[in-house]
Structure 1
Amino acid sequence: MLNTIEYTVTAIVCLISAIVIQRIFSKERLRQADPKGVEGIKWFGLAIFVWGLGALVNLILVSGFKWTPTNKVLIYFGVLISLANSLFIILSLPSIEHQKKPGILVRLAQRFSIREFVSLFCGVLGMIAFVFVASSYGNEEISNNFIWLIDIPISILVAISLLFELNKAFVARQMKFMYLPTFVLFILIVIAVTHRIIPQDKALQFIDQKFWSVLGSITAISFKFLFILLFSILLYSWKFLSEKEQQQSLAQQLTLENEQLKKTIEQFELANESHLDTIKNLKVEVKDLRQTAKVELSDRQKEVLGYLAHYGKDKSYTEIAQEMHISTDGLQTHIHQIKKILNISGAGGKEQLIEFAKTHDFLQYFQSGEDA
């Protein structure tokens, strides 16, 4: 009766949990979440699923086909389910994120690819299992508890690794209060393993048979429930932190884009000011050009500017007057009139006239002495 209850409860809870976890896995994969975390969800779901599958098969064989729980085929199947569960738990351990150094079992799983590790796990334990099955099948003198020796070392090793990895993860998430549940999980696994390996006739020398059976069923169910609970808490804390990190990343990205936008606006403002200055200067130049275009000079004044453009600062006004065969006073009169027309005053008037003459190509009005 206790076995039937154990199988029924385990099958219902584990299979429903596996379906829920599978849906979470599908959603997280579509959301393109952290691949490492998503893979961990997958293996965690498979570990729960094989528990439920094993319990369902046992329930069908025990209740439907009236097999006894001590049937060696059922024991072999139970060992297979337990080994598969251990394999999936090991594969899920690397996804448990923390800042500390991972355990030996985790580093071993990370050293190989998933296919290589599964092949290695199945190959080594397959050979060991073959030896155990070959030596125990058909041999009534060998206790069924002997067969569980295949799984016991692996289960203990996985339980220890799970204890340390969960504690490291909960510390990283500032959830030290989860130390106690993880330790209780470890104790329950040890009790369940001990219940499997100790022969019942030996245990009954010290403990009542009913209590021994109840203890086995309760620990078998309890550690599975606690395992699901702890991993669910870890899963949702990971999901919460992942979403929080995404929000922080989005906020940082928006802040960065905002700063870049501000810089771009500043650059546009500087460019706009530069363009405004350029436009202002162009307006001034256009104004000057218009004023220059309105300047009307006589032929003689143009000739004076031509001589200035040609000789520049090399000759004085007197020398230029001689070259033009006019008096110095006459040249000065022309210079004065040109300055008045061009609105040139103050010191440096000659330099301004020379620059104006060269800029506006008055050199064409220069006539050398030979031409004259």
Structure 2
Amino acid sequence: MLSTIEHTITAIVCLITAIVIQRIFVRERSGDAAEDSIKGIKWFGLAIFTWGFGAILNLLFIEVFNWSVTHKMVIYTGVMISLANSLFILLSLPSIEHSKKRSFIVKLVKRFGTREFIGLYSGVMGMISFVFITASYNNEGSSNNFIWLIDIPISIFVALSLLYELNSAFSSRKMKFMLLPTFALFVLILFAVSHRIIPQDRALEIIDQQFWAMVGSITAISFKFLFILLFSILLYSWKFLSEKEHHESLAKELNLENSKLKLRLGRLELSNESHLDTISSMKKELSAFKKNQKVNFSDRQKEVLGNLAYFGVDKSYAEIASTMNISLEGFQTHIYQIKKLLNISGSGGKEQLITFALENNFSSFATPHDNK
């Protein structure tokens, strides 16, 4: 009766939970969540589904086939279901994010990859199970406790890994109040394992059979429910933190974009100031040019400008002075006076004078000559 109640409750709760988790996984996968970050949801859902499926098989064996709970096929099925459940829990561990050092099993899963790890796990557990089942199937003297030895080591290993990863995750998320429930889960798993491995006849020497069976059923249901509860809390805290990290990331992007806009605005202001300076300089040059156009040159100065316009850069000052039949010193004196009138200074004075003379048609004032 107790086993029927246990399996019925387990089947209903676990299958409903598995369906809900599967819907969450599908929704997250269709959204913006990365595949690697939500794989744990899938494996967690499969672990819960395995419990529910195993409970249905047990109900089928006991209620339909009228097999006892100690029937070897019931025990074999229970061991296989437990091994599959352990596999899915192990695969879900890498998705439990935290800042602490990862456990050995997480490193192992990441080292081999999901498919390789499943193959390795299935191969090793398959060979061990084959040996145990072969040794016990036709041996009436073998007890159920002997068969459960297949699952006991891996269950303890999973419990330790699960305890470490959950505690690390809750500590990293500043949820240290969850450390006690995770430890309680570990204790319940150990108690459930002990209930399987301790021979029933030895236990009945100390306590009542009905009480022993009731303790086993309550323990089995309790650790499953606590496992579901802890992972659900972890799942929703992950969702909350993911949304928080998304908002923080969006805020950082907006701040970065704002900084870029400010930098661009600063550059535009500098460029604008530079353009204003250029415009101001051009206005000054234009004003000076207009003043230059109003300058009254002497006939000799016009002749100097005319010769500069005519000869350009082809002849030196000395050659132009010779053409004008004046000394070089006298010619340079005229050049100096013209530059002063035009506000020309610095290097390139000759080129500026030539340009000015050409633009203002001083070529007609050049000294008469036969050829250039």
Flag whether TM exceeds 0.5 (same fold).
Answer: yes
What is the CA deviation profile of residues 296-316 of structure 1, one whole-angstrom value per residue up to 9, with x for unaligned ones?
87976532433577798769x
Which residue identity lines up with residue 323 of structure 1 in the other structure? Answer: N
What is the CA deviation profile of residues 152-194 of structure 1, one whole-angstrom value per residue up to 9, with x for unaligned ones?
1110111111111111111111122212111111111111111
Gaps of 5+ in 1: none
Alignment of 1:18-167 (within 5 A): 18-167=18-167
Q: CA deviation at 1:43?
A: 1.0
Corresponding residue of 1:172 = 172
Which residue identity lines up with residue 223 of structure 2 in the other structure? Answer: F
Alignment of 1:1-372 (within 5 A): 1-289=1-289, 302-307=302-307, 323=325, 344=341, 355-356=352-353, 359-361=356-358, 362=362, 365-367=365-367
Q: CA deviation at 1:266?
A: 1.3
Once residues 41 and 344 of structure 1 are traced to their aligned partners in structure 2, the CA distance between those partners, rounded to angstroms, is 89
Once residues 128 and 345 of structure 1 are traced to their aligned partners in structure 2, the CA distance between those partners, rounded to angstroms, is 107
* Residues matched between the structures, number: 359
Q: Which shifted more, 224-233 or 359-368?
A: 359-368
Q: CA deviation at 1:233?
A: 1.3
What is the CA deviation profile of residues 216-238 of structure 1, one whole-angstrom value per residue up to 9, with x for unaligned ones?
10000000000111111111122
What is the CA deviation profile of residues 201-254 of structure 1, one whole-angstrom value per residue up to 9, with x for unaligned ones?
221111101110100100000000001111111111222222211211111111
Q: Which shifted more, 200-209 or 95-104?
A: 95-104
Once residues 149 and 169 of structure 2 are traced to their aligned partners in structure 1, the CA distance between those partners, rounded to angstroms, is 30
What is the CA deviation profile of residues 310-335 of structure 1, one whole-angstrom value per residue up to 9, with x for unaligned ones?
798769xxx8997269xx9xxx9x99
Residues 65 and 283 of structure 1: CA distance in aligned 2, closer, same or farther (over 3 Å):
same
Which residue identity lines up with residue 174 of structure 1 in the other structure? Answer: K
User: Could you say what secondary structure the match of 2:97 adopts?
Assistant: coil
Q: CA deviation at 1:53?
A: 0.9
- CA RMSD, Structure 1 to Structure 2 (Å): 3.5
Residues 353 and 103 of structure 1: CA distance in aligned 2, closer, same or farther (over 3 Å):
closer
Residues 162 and 276 of structure 1: CA distance in aligned 2, closer, same or farther (over 3 Å):
same
Once residues 370 and 177 of structure 1 are traced to their aligned partners in structure 2, the CA distance between those partners, rounded to angstroms, is 110
Q: Which shifted more, 262-271 or 306-315?
A: 306-315
Once residues 279 and 312 of structure 1 are traced to their aligned partners in structure 2, the CA distance between those partners, rounded to angstroms, is 35
User: Could you say what secondary structure the match of 1:186 adopts?
Assistant: helix
Aligned partners of 1:51 and 1:81 also within 8 Å: yes
Q: Percent identity?
A: 58
What is the CA deviation profile of residues 54-99 of structure 1, one whole-angstrom value per residue up to 9, with x for unaligned ones?
1122223322333322221111111111000000111111122222
Residues 51 and 346 of structure 1: CA distance in aligned 2, closer, same or farther (over 3 Å):
closer
Q: Which shifted more, 102-111 or 176-185?
A: 102-111
Which residue identity lines up with residue 133 of structure 1 in the other structure? Answer: I
Once residues 225 and 237 of structure 2 are traced to their aligned partners in structure 1, the CA distance between those partners, rounded to angstroms, is 18
Q: Which shifted more, 168-177 or 98-107?
A: 98-107
What is the CA deviation profile of residues 258-295 of structure 1, one whole-angstrom value per residue up to 9, with x for unaligned ones?
00011111111222222233334344445555566677
- Give the alignment's TM-score, normalised by structure 1: 0.84
Aligned partners of 1:344 and 1:352 also within 8 Å: no
Residues 152 and 292 of structure 1: CA distance in aligned 2, closer, same or farther (over 3 Å):
same
Once residues 119 and 347 of structure 1 are traced to their aligned partners in structure 2, the CA distance between those partners, rounded to angstroms, is 90
Aligned partners of 2:306 and 2:357 also within 8 Å: no
Once residues 239 and 195 of structure 1 are traced to their aligned partners in structure 2, the CA distance between those partners, rounded to angstroms, is 36
Which residue identity lines up with residue 57 of structure 1 in the other structure? Answer: L
User: Could you say what secondary structure the match of 2:67 adopts?
Assistant: coil
Once residues 341 and 298 of structure 2 are traced to their aligned partners in structure 1, the CA distance between those partners, rounded to angstroms, is 17
Q: Which shifted more, 301-310 or 212-221?
A: 301-310
- Give the alignment's TM-score, normalised by structure 2: 0.84
Aligned partners of 2:308 and 2:353 also within 8 Å: no
What is the CA deviation profile of residues 88-142 of structure 1, one whole-angstrom value per residue up to 9, with x for unaligned ones?
1111111222222222222222221111111111111111111111111132221
Q: Which shifted more, 132-141 or 355-364?
A: 355-364
